[in-house]
Amino acid sequence: MKSFEDLGVRDDLLKGIKELGFENPMPVQEKVIPTLLTGDHDLVALAQTGTGKTAAFGLPVIQRVDTSRRVPQALILAPTRELCLQIAGDLADFSKYVPDLKVLPVYGGSSIESQIRALREGVQIIIATPGRLIDLIKRGVVKLDDVHTVVLDEADEMLNMGFVDSINDILAHVPEDRKMLMFSATMPAEAAKIAKKYMKDHEEVVVGTKNEGAKNVRHIYYMVNARDKYLALKRVCDDSPNIYAIVFCRTRRDTQEIADKLIADGYNADSLHGDLSQQQRDLVMKKFRDRVITILVATDVAARGLDVDDLTHVINFGLPDDTAVYTHRSGRTGRAGKTGVSVAIIHSREKGRLREIERIIGKKFERKDVPTPEHIIEKQLYNLADRIERVEVPEEEIERYMPGVLKKLSWLSTEDLVKRVLSLEFKRLLNYYKDAPNIDFIDEKPARDKKKHEPRSEADKDRRTAEKGMERIYVDAGKSDGFYAGNLIEMLNHTVHGPRVDVGRIDLMPSYSLFDVKKADARRVVDALRGADFYGRRLYAEVAEADKDYARASGRKKPRQKKSAR
């Protein structure tokens, strides 16, 4: 097995990466580093996320820089601010013992004046998002005449985000004899066009197979009815007591809705999408890295550059249209030699897309039954028992409190004490899953509707009866009114008196909404929502009737304006 020294890495860099725990080079580093240090041709390197791409290009880029000259000599382009910062941080770690090396990330959403000041002081390596770099070039504060190395990281994603023209503008300011490197997790046709247009006599280095998923990732899927996807997501999370996951959604709206529902249901979750300010995104990512939150609901673009090595799960709340996107998602788990799980929660119409992904990545998805309440509760209880066994007891600090506590609990047997500890931890979970139904999709075709000749309305298609032990509630506000799951949960928390209401399945329609609550809570929920104010209009609510056409009824209702005080 080769060492970094065998690859030609310099002693001062060897010292820095050794302190970071780098022992032997990963396959992509073994293939790329010697080429970048000794070759003069351009290079395309295809490797999955988490395989050590940053060190593969970062170490030779640093080694090629002349630190005696305070001018930009290397340019690294990345699609997002987060990825810029991650690369800059890694290069700073690698170059701990390289005096006078200056690395500067430049990106939108941060003070351009401070970036200009840093540039005028002199830097050798610039890591940039295309938009901000063009702005700096136009202002005359960035000169790229001495750049000898250009790196496009996650080039496929930059193309997807519409940066082709920006890249073209930037390369017009770089010497034609520069060395150009393109790194990407996958190589779709669009990324190949970048190589053909911007690179000369390039060599292609492939670690694994193009569009192949990471080898140590297990791919599984759950098939449920579309209306039950959120319930399935909760069960997947509950069945993994130590879950640390990213849940990928297709749109910003879906991302926020799912995150709002998870938060309302008591999960340590948050959202990450393009509608958040940069300050909000930074805070969310810090909380996720620090494990203050353990479930991050995100869009694909927003999660770019979020470098986390210990994810237990990547959960696809529906499948992406592009197989390369799925490959990139699943590559975020099972990193650095660890195993991971990529989960797809799909409905029957997505099965064909699943088979297409299987064909392209060369891996078979394993179909599993949605975890049952009994299995979830058993796993959670055993996990608690394991935590109790492993907890470190501060003997000296706790010893003085023991006599009083033991005296107070002396009337309890060991079994009674254990039961009380478990009940204290899991009472809400036990109550939630009591009489919970099976939500797996049954592949057999359902019985044909005897009234198939009758026209089916929107309500007939989308209304569902309540789950066992639950009551269905109707409220005359829907998505066209700007009424979403987060609005509903917030309204319930503020208007319903007494114990907190647990909400089950929510169906948001354009002009109305239907949702489940426990039968015992139904009357006080209806009483609280009926007449409640939603941005100047009074809501109407009732216990839903199975045969009522709520689409038509909601269409006839006129918005009830809140009466003004006289």
- Asked if residue 3 is part of any domain, the answer here is no
The answer to whether residue 1 is domain-embedded is no
User: Exposed, middle or buried: residue 141 (CB in 10 Å: 0-12, 13-18, 19+)?
Assistant: middle
Last residue in a domain, options 402, 421, 446 = 446
| pTM, full prediction | 0.53
Residues 6+ apart with CB under 8 A from 70: 102, 121, 122, 123, 124
Q: Which residues contact 477 (CB under 8 A, 6 or more apart)?
A: 483, 512, 513, 534, 537, 539
Domain count, the chain: 3
Q: What is the CATH number of the domain that holds 556?
A: 3.30.70.330
- Name the least confident of 185-194, 225-234, 245-254: 185-194
In whole angstroms, give the CA distance from residue 78 to residue 62: 17
Instruction: Specify if 451 maps to a domain.
Output: no
* One domain for residues 373 and 510: no
Same domain, 400 and 467: no
Tell me what the mean pLDDT of segment 463-478 comes to: 80
Which pLDDT band, with edges at 50, 70 and 90, does 222 fall under? very high
Check whether residue 186 and residue 250 sit in a common domain. no
74, part of any domain: yes
pLDDT for 94 equals: 92
Specify whether 412 is located in the same domain as 290: yes
Q: Would you list the DSSP string of 497-541?
A: -SSPPPEEEEEE-SS-EEEEEEGGGHHHHHHHHTT-EETTEE--E
Q: Specify the DSSP class assigned to residue 47.
A: -
Q: Does 416 lie in the same domain as 504?
A: no
> What is the mean predicted confidence (pLDDT) over 306-332?
80
560-561/217-223 β-pairing = unpaired
Give the CA distances from residue 395 to residues 156, 286, 386, 389, in Å, rounded to whole numbers and listed in that order: 55, 33, 19, 15
pLDDT in tens, 48-58: 556 678 899 99
Cα atoms found within 13 Å of the Cα of residue 145, Cβ hemisphere only = 4
Report yes or no on 95 lying in a domain: yes
The whole-angstrom separation of Cα 477 and Cα 511 is 6
Round the average pLDDT of the chain to a whole number and report it: 82
Q: Do residues 411 and 370 make contact, with C-beta atoms less than 8 angstroms apart? A: no
CA distance 85 to 87: 5
Residue 282 lies in a domain: yes
Specify the pLDDT at position 448. 42
Domain range holding 307?
A: 214-446
Contact 345, 222 (CB under 8 A): yes
Distance CA 101, CA 71 (A): 11
Q: What is the edge-to-edge ordering of all strands in the sheet holding 125-128?
A: 103-106, 125-128, 74-77, 149-153, 179-184, 43-46, 203-206
In angstroms, the CA 375 to CA 436 distance is: 12
Residues 227 and 295 in one domain: yes
Give Cα separations from 521 to 263, 280, 362, 402, 493 (angstroms): 20, 35, 49, 41, 13
Q: E strands along 350-486, which residues?
A: 366-367, 470-475
SS3 479: helix
Distance CA 90, CA 22 (A): 13
Examine the pLDDT at 208 and tell me if it is beyond 50: yes
pLDDT: which is higher, 425 or 519 = 519
Residue with tokens 């529906």: 318
Task: Name the β-bridge partners of 219.
Answer: 342
Average pLDDT over residues 426-445: 71
Say how many CA atoms lie within 13 Å of 487 toward its Cβ: 16
Top-confidence range, 112-126, 213-227, 327-341: 112-126
**pLDDT of 396 over the 60 cut:** yes
- Of 63, 60, 64, nearest to 32 by C-alpha is 60
pLDDT beyond 90 at 376: no
Strands 503-508 and 513-518: antiparallel
- SS in 3 state form for 246-278? EEECCCHHHHHHHHHHHHHCCCCEEEECCCCCH
Q: How many CB atoms lie within 10 A of CB 252?
A: 18
**What type of residue sits at position 141?**
V
201 and 218 share one domain:
no
Q: Are 71 and 122 in contact (CB under 8 A)?
A: yes
Q: What average pLDDT score do residues 550-562 get?
A: 59
Confidence of residue 438 (pLDDT cuts 50, 70, 90): confident
Domain containing residue 363: CATH number: 3.40.50.300
Q: Is residue 286 part of a domain?
A: yes
Most confident of 30-44, 155-169, 185-199, 303-317: 30-44
Q: Which long-range contacts (CB under 8 A, 24 or more apart) does 420-424 make?
A: 421/384, 421/388, 422/381, 422/384
Q: Are residues 241 and 300 in the same domain?
A: yes
CA distance 41 to 125: 20
Q: What is the pLDDT of residues 439-457, one digit of tens each?
A: 877 654 444 444 443 344 4
Structure tokens at 425: 């931890």
Do 472 and 465 touch, CB atoms closer than 8 A?
Answer: yes
Cβ contact 244:310 at 8 Å: yes
Tokens 């000599």: give the residue: 73
d(CA 14, CA 538): 68
Same domain as 328, residue 354: yes
- If asked whether residues 390 and 406 sit together in one domain, one would say yes
User: In this structure, are 93 and 50 located in the same domain?
Assistant: yes
pLDDT tops 80 at residue 540 = yes
In a domain, 2, yes or no: no
Which of 246, 211, 184 has the alpha carbon at shortest distance from 57? 184
Tens-place pLDDT, residues 124-165: 999 999 989 999 999 999 999 999 999 998 877 777 677 878
The residue from 406, 423, 446 where one domain ends is 446
Domain edge (last residue) among 206, 223, 240: 206
List of residues 6+ apart from 327 with CB closer than 8 A:
48, 185, 186, 211, 212, 213, 361
Residue 159: CB atoms within 10 A of its CB come to 19
Task: Say how many residues make up the chain.
Answer: 566
Tokens of 521: 């809570």
Q: Are residues 418 and 438 in the same domain?
A: yes
pLDDT tens by residue, 239-297: 888 899 999 998 888 999 999 999 988 899 999 988 888 788 888 988 998 899 999 99
Q: What is the DSSP string of 179-217?
A: EEEEEES---HHHHHHHHHH-SS-EEEESS-TTPPPTTE
- Cβ(315)–Cβ(245) under 8 Å? yes
